[in-house]
Structure 1
Amino acid sequence: MTGLVDRLRGHGERVAVLTDTQRLSYRDLADAVSEVAAALGPTRRLVLLETRNDLPTLVHYLGALAGGHVVLPVAAERGHDELVDTYDPDVVVDGDGLHIRRAGSAHALHDDLALLLSTSGSTGSPKLVRLSRRNLTSNAAAIAEYLDIRDTDRAATTLPMSYCYGLSVVHSHLLRGAALILTEHSVVDDEFWALFRRHRGTTFAGVPYTFDLLDRVGFEAMDLPHLRYLTQAGGRLAPERVRRYARLGAARGWQLFVMYGATEATSRMAYLPPELAADHPGCIGRPIPGGSFTIEPLDGWPADDAAGELVYRGANVMMGYAHDAADLSRGAEVDALHTGDIARRRPDGLYEVIGRSSRFVKMYGLRIDLQRVEAALREHGVRALCTDLDDSLVVAATPPHDPADVARLAADTAGVPSSAVRAVAVDELPVLSTGKPDYPAVRALADGLADPAPQQPADLVTVFADVLHLDPDSIDPDASFVDLGGNSLTYVAMSVRLERALGRLPADWQRLPLRDLQVRTAPRRRWTATLETSVALRAVAIVLIVGSHAELFELWGGAHVLLGIAGYNFGRFCLTPAPRADRVRHLRTTIAWIAVPSVLWVAVALMVTDDYHFSNLLLANKIVGPHDSMTAGRLWFVEVLVWVLVALAALIALPTADRLERRRPFVFAAMFLAAGLALRYDVLGLDLGRDAWFTMLAFWFFAVGWAAAKATAVWQRVAVTVAVAVGLYGYFDDTQREVLVLTGFLLLIWLPALRVPAGLTVVAGVVAEASLYTYLTHFQVYALFEGHPAVGVAASLAVGILLTQAITLVRRRLHARRATLTADAVPAPR
């Protein structure tokens, strides 16, 4: 990579990198890369780099290459202790920055060596692929040529930079002076598409699972005016899906490139020209520019139709493997790559893979060493054979091991969801007459399973089933928290329990499919944990509300913060990519969860106190009065929230409004915020006065939270911040109150999560989860302890928590009862 900085600088002021908050020219990027190269020093070092799809990762990666160092990228969220122990890197770059472990280098690094990549996907093997500078540049040039990458292209980073496919996107686009849109968001996130549209994205890459997600979010109907092409690799995409996406692209004005590759070939070996994809969807296509294929005989494989092992040759073929640090001094040892795939060359010159001879499979974009999975199972006392069938990992194991346990163990080893593993029990492992394992027999056993139920880690399924009151067997591993009916009321309990199970909550976990959450493992015991800001604010706000009403202290404004959090959760949980009917149904459920217990409590209170009026049964005191009652207006927050949600449900039910919100989610929310501020400032001259504090006109606080949830760019967050600051100024004629509310909103807008003592997450979660029932009941509870406000506050919180837990228990038992009745109603087979 000699002269990398000069080549970057040669693209001048062209845009190189776009993020949610930053825009860098190639000149800016070259300066940043040069600084990192200088910090690493002139001595060549082995640099282990924790990767994320962000600017610091890109700059440190390019800086290490520019300095002539050898880079070992690893996924930031996965453990890499074995790699550190085996290769003893000289420098480690992680989320805290650059850490130089020694003055020089402990290694003899070959002059040509530039990059080390894992070849085993997720099985934890220290076996690495050694790649040279020539490998990287030749493959990037070939990809740029057949994709016709232009300096006007802008590619979104949908794949990790620790993965050869993800890096190839970086290399090829920077080579041509194109731009990278760096994002950690998934294609299921509204934020990804907002960023993609805002930066006029022209392309993104996907593995087969990416296309599963695209189907889920309604990609076919998306308006992406600048999209020029999609690329697919990382495993075989079913021919019917290739054909469907190729035809969709032809109709919408973009192209689909299906590609074939391996880490050992610096990512790419073949591509299928887009114009051939619809008619030849089962082919891998033709060799990339500068590469070639041969079909070579393979022992034991029938010689019909000139089929044989596919062997690739080209300048992008790796130098060889590394098994330990001593191998880093070795030169190029490979001139041809035996892929292990059985293929034939068709008369039209296209290559077609028809089978596999190797003990590797590709799933979820990972290359899985089946031999290593078998070895890991043996280490746990399980005698097993592993193979693949369709898109599943198949394991045959002997007693006394339970197939579900075997599936979980194999999934953990391979790094795939348990739902992707089919485990079968056999008395003896099947063997051929030669004594070798009979893998076709294992496939036949798995294929004979009648509709095998997906096997999932019991812990996360139990969490989802428990919190959402669902039958565990009914939970679809492709469904997310939102898909399964999660809302702002169940969100708190789920976030706290998931944080304990996973150790760290992934960004936008509520929209991640369960199968994605399943592959994350819990860390060792930690003293601190992640607490979502919305959960923390909800807990603090309800304490402030109860404490102020009980006159323990006087810190007003908690209810207005809660209203903002309600809007924030509305934007996250109700306005998802789901179909319009599902959105409306979800909103109805959310309204019922708030309105029904509120009305029931009012009914109880009416029988024992004089606190409420019959208008409270309609949650309409602030609409129909009486307006001179101090106690009847106590539930203003619930009334505002319920009727705002009712109005929005009616609005979202309109196809035009639904379409507009999907196309411009932030603008749609900002319109309501603007309308709320117009009423706040009495633009229409209605002369509503200070009574508007606690009426339906306070909905602008809800709109602030909604807009904050949909703000994906810095300028949008700044705009929301300015709006709430301006709107609050003078609103209460109480500076302390205005500052408190503003602080809560600033945290909500700018700080998505907090690091707190681990035990505090549980406490905050319990208090926040009970906030609705605490709010409803605390007026009657603290009054029982007149003269003892601290006791009254504690009792109010305790009653809210106990009531929440009791109702949860009742719902759980009712659900179990319904499930039993349903099962009893099913006639027994005859």
Structure 2
Amino acid sequence: MNLTSQLHKIALENGEKNAYYFMDQACTYAKLDEQVTRFASGLSSLGIKEGDHIALLLGNSPHFVISLYGALKLGAKVIPINPIYTPEEIGYILRDGDVKAVIMLEQLLPLAEKMHHLLTDIKHYIVCETGQTSGLPALGDKSVFPKLKSFSELVSNGDVTFVDADVTPDDVAIILYTSGTTGKPKGAMLTHRNLYSNASDVADYLQINERDTVITTLPMFHVFCLTVALNAPLISGATILIDPKFSPKEIFRLAEKYKPTVFAGVPTMYNFLYQYPEGNPGVFQSMRLCISGGASLPVALLENFEKKFNVVISEGYGLSEASPVTCFNPLDRPRKPGSIGTSIIHVENRVVNELGEEVAVGEVGELVVKGPNVMKGYYKMPEETSACLKENWLYTGDLAKRDEEGYFYIVDRKKDMIIVGGYNVYPREVEEVFYDHPDIVEAAVLGVPDQNTGEKVLAYIVPKTENLTEAHLLTYCKEKLAKYKIPSSIEFLEELPKNTTGKILRRALKKKVLENQEA
């Protein structure tokens, strides 16, 4: 079984059930399955075949769902790309990923014009018409026109009897490029088995079924959304509410109109919803489960959100290389605030030392993962693959600890740990102290070089009021933290830099600090 065969099975058994709503327009499973099949046929008519690489430059939309499942049905390998990346970032992935066709928003046509002569291996630019422009723009370079194809025409002209490619579970289905925090992005190769097993196991663990309605507002090109808020619901016969772009106002509108049962978001989304003054907590009464991932959820935010909205947040953990989920707080046992929960079905997590030996309960080590969800490797990077895949264990680079009941706790990124005078300081520990302060909206802590102590702790704060001072917060920290953990300075910002999923970018703050030091 794989994603497309399961979608087809649901369409045969319950075709009139709504698969999704988009801009308040519904689409049934039968219609979605037909569009997926026609699009796969359309791709085949262009000469795209099993094993070819296809990039998706799309936001949250039916275009993304149809393109993803249609390409997988054909047996192509899909490379989702953030459409707001710079031309340089997009160009690198298209070249490194050996892409043959790009499925893109019509607003990105100028990008195709600019790049197509540099990317000669790309044979087709399939344009998803959104109605926001009147036909194709007057491109200066007319040579790109033969490569342009219409998404809607491929779907309408496709053969509804097209048969799935004969792919194996170990064939690569998706190549997900990491954000490149430590260098050039790496393409994690996820197989059909990886994707289907993780979506199925997440659905089982969180009890997602055909009675659920899931808000899908996380970016679909990101692995968190891809598995938890897209694949898991669709292979379970649930309905997804496709939200093009997160905004608290729209989430509250969707909640009031459609009575959703599941919401998945990153910590900053929960913070925005909590802080939104016009939000009516009563509209969340239909919600049986909220899911948090992508970054550590501050305990104070979790408790405040649950109290205000009368919901339960299940925090989990994952990474692109694991498709992504490895842990979630269970629904049938007590949830532990601050924990990422226990290992999901069919996945094993351990905490090990530098020799790969499992450490004792409560000790900090590196989190390693094993299961059917673990990637095949990095595309064209055998050395990097060998460095993180050892004897079927995936080394995550995250520091963690385990309690006596098998609940795991992320201490911090291994690379983010700060060493002050020989003492370890975990940024998350200091950030939790700031999140406990009633006048702080967001916080980020990082370490930078210091000639006296090796490194020193810096903090960046988004305050609720203008009256908050550095002196007050330093005094506050002295009551909560050991001396070596107290920030040497605290800077106030209107907002913290974030990526497209809402994850706070410590590296952007650190880069700014280092540049200022050099200047």
Q: Is the 8 A contact 1:259 1:284 kept in 2?
A: yes
3-state DSSP class of the match of 2:176? Answer: strand
Task: Kindly state the Cα deviation for residue 174 of structure 1 after the two structures are TM-superposed.
Answer: 0.4
TM-score using structure 2 length: 0.66
Looking at structure 1, the residues matched to 296 and 444 of structure 2 have their Cα atoms a distance apart, in angstroms, of 15
Question: Among 495, 499, 514, which residue is 1:477 paired with?
Answer: 495
Give 1:197 shift: 2.5
Which of the two has higher C-alpha Rg? 1
CA 1:360–1:267 in 2, change beyond 3 Å: closer, same or farther?
farther
Could you tell me which of 318, 322, 344 is aligned with 2:401?
344
The residue number in structure 1 matching 2:49 is 43
Note if contact 1:312-1:336 (Cα within 8 Å) is conserved in structure 2. Answer: yes
2:291 aligned to 231, 234, 244, which one? Answer: 231
Alpha-carbon distance in structure 2 between the residues aligned to 1:244 and 1:122: 31
Q: Distance in 2 between matches of 1:333 and 1:343?
A: 18
How far does residue 134 in structure 1 lie from its aligned partner after superposition? 0.3
Please give the per-residue CA displacement for 1:409-468, whole angstroms capped at 9, x wherever unaligned: xxxxxxxxx995768685x4x78xxxxxx45778998943343233xxxxxxxxxxxxxx
- Determine which of 445, 451, 458 is the counterpart of 2:490: 451
2:67 aligned partner? 60
Of 69, 78, 81 in structure 1, the residue corresponding to residue 85 of structure 2 is 78
Q: What whole-Å deviation, never above 9, does each CA across 1:363-399 have from its counterpart, x for those lacking one? A: xxxxxxx9xxxxxxxxxxxxxxxx9734999xxxxxx
Secondary structure of 1:295's match?
Answer: strand
Unaligned runs of 5+ in 2: 113-120, 125-166, 419-424, 432-441, 460-482, 509-519
Aligned to 2:31, the other structure's residue is in SS state helix
* Counterpart Cα distance in 1 of 2:321 and 2:410: 18
The 3-state SS of whatever aligns with 1:269 is strand
* Structure 1 pair 82–124 and aligned structure 2 pair: CA distance change class (3 A): farther
Q: 1:270 to 1:28 in 2, by over 3 A?
A: same
- Equivalent in the alignment of 2:265: 206
- TM-score scaled to structure 1, two decimals? 0.42
Query: Residue 17 of structure 1 corresponds to which residue in structure 2?
Result: 20
SS at 1:3 equivalent: helix
Deviations 1:276-295 (A, max 9, x none): 666x2122221001111233
Contact 1:146-1:289 at 8 Å conserved across structures: yes
- Cα separation, 2, equivalents of 1:306 and 1:451: 30
Q: Distance in 1 between matches of 2:383 and 2:15?
A: 41
Give, in whole Å, the separation in 1 of the partners of 2:378 and 2:213: 33
Q: 1:89 to 1:350 in 2, by over 3 A?
A: same
Deviations 1:121-158 (A, max 9, x none): 67773311110000001100111011111212111112
Distance 1:149 1:247, change over 3 A: same
The structure showing larger relative contact order (alpha-carbon pairs under 8 Å, at least 6 residues apart) is: 2
Q: Tell me whether 338-347 or 10-19 shows the greater mean CA deviation.
A: 338-347
| Alignment match, 1:7 | 9
Alignment of 1:521-536 (within 5 A): none
**Does the alignment pair 1:160 with 2:219?**
yes
- How many Å separate the matches in 2 of 1:244 and 1:421? 22
Equivalent residues in 2 for 1:292-371, closer than 5 Å: 292-298=348-354, 305-323=362-380, 335-356=392-413, 358-359=414-415
Q: Secondary structure at the match of 1:235?
A: coil
8 Å contact from structure 1 (residues 51, 160) kept in 2: no
Match of 2:97 in 1: 87
| Structure 2 Cα separation of the partners of residues 174 and 304 of structure 1 | 38
Q: SS state of the match for residue 406, structure 2?
A: coil
- Check 1:71–1:22 CA distance in 2 against 1; reply closer, same or farther (3 A cut): same
SS in 2 for 1:56: helix
> Structure 1 pair 271/424, CA: closer, same or farther in 2 (3 Å)?
closer
The secondary structure found in structure 2 opposite 1:66 is: helix
Task: Say if 1:422 and 1:446, in contact at 8 Å, map to a contact too.
Answer: no
Q: Offset at 1:258? A: 1.0
Change in 2 beyond 3 A, CA 1:49/1:327: farther
State the partner residue of 2:245: 185
Give the 3-state SS of the residue equivalent to 1:116 in structure 2: strand
Q: What's the offset of the Cα at 1:325?
A: 12
Structure 2 match to 1:273: 330
Letter in 2 for 1:7: K
Q: Check conservation: 1:135, 1:316, Cα contact below 8 A.
A: yes
1:69 to 70, 76, 84: 76
- SS of 2:283's equivalent? coil
Cα 1:84/1:325, change in 2 over 3 Å: farther
Count of residue correspondences:
393
The one-letter code matched in structure 2 to 1:39 is G
For residue 220 of structure 1, report the CA deviation from its aligned partner.
6.7
In the alignment, what sits opposite 2:29?
Answer: 26
CA distance in 2, matches of 1:86, 1:9: 36
Q: Distance in 1 between matches of 2:103 and 2:490?
A: 46
Following the alignment from structure 1 to structure 2, what is the Cα–Cα distance between the partners of residues 229 and 339? 27
Q: Distance in 2 between matches of 1:392 and 1:124?
A: 27
Q: Percent identity?
A: 25
Does the aligned pair in 1 maintain the 2:60–2:245 contact within 8 Å? no
Alignment of 1:259 onto 2:316: yes
Residue of structure 2 equivalent to 1:645: none
Deviation at 1:7? 2.6
Give the match's secondary structure for 2:345.
Answer: coil
Distance 1:147 1:349 in 2: 18
Match of 1:289 in 2: 345
2 CA distance for matches of 1:300 and 1:225? 45
8 Å CA contact 1:240–1:281 kept in 2: the answer is no
User: In structure 2, do the counterparts of structure 1 residues 21 and 350 end up closer, same or farther at CA, with 3 Å as the change threshold?
Assistant: closer
Tell me the alpha carbon deviations over residues 678-736 of structure 1, each in whole angstroms, 9 at most, x when there is no partner.
xxxxxxxxxxxxxxxxxxxxxxxxxxxxxxxxxxxxxxxxxxxxxxxxxxxxxxxxxxx
More helix, by proportion: 1
Q: Superposition pairs for residues 291-690 of structure 1, below 5 Å?
A: 291-298=347-354, 305-323=362-380, 335-356=392-413, 358-359=414-415, 389-390=427-428, 426=450, 428=451, 438=454, 447-454=486-493, 476-477=494-495
Check conservation: 1:18, 1:199, Cα contact below 8 A.
no
Instruction: Return the offset for 1:355.
Output: 4.8
Q: 8 Å contact 2:6–2:235 — kept in the other structure?
A: no
Q: How far, CA to CA, are the matches of 1:178 and 1:123 in structure 2?
A: 38
Which string of whole-angstrom CA distances, capped at 9 and with x for unpartnered residues, describes residues 222-248 of structure 1? Answer: 423422211001111112333344455
Q: Is the CA contact 1:297–1:303 (under 8 Å) kept in the aligned structure 2?
A: no
Which residue does the alignment assign to 1:135?
194
Could you tell me which amino acid in structure 1 is paired with residue 368 of structure 2? Answer: V
Residue identity in the other structure for 1:296 = V
Deviation, structure 1 residue 55? 1.0
Residue type of the alignment partner of 2:347:
G
Residues 731-788 of structure 1, C-alpha deviations (whole Å, 9 max, x = no match) = xxxxxxxxxxxxxxxxxxxxxxxxxxxxxxxxxxxxxxxxxxxxxxxxxxxxxxxxxx
CA offsets 1:235-275 (integer angstroms, 9 cap, x no match): 111123333444556xx3x4321111111110111111257
What CA distance in whole angstroms lies between the structure 1 residues aligned with 2:233 and 2:220?
Answer: 14
In the alignment, what sits opposite 2:163? none
Q: Which runs of 5+ in 1 are unaligned?
A: 104-108, 362-369, 371-386, 394-417, 432-437, 455-475, 480-505, 507-512, 520-830
3-state SS in 1 of match to 2:190: strand
Instruction: Give, as a single letter, the amino acid of the residue that structure 1 aligns with 2:263.
Output: F
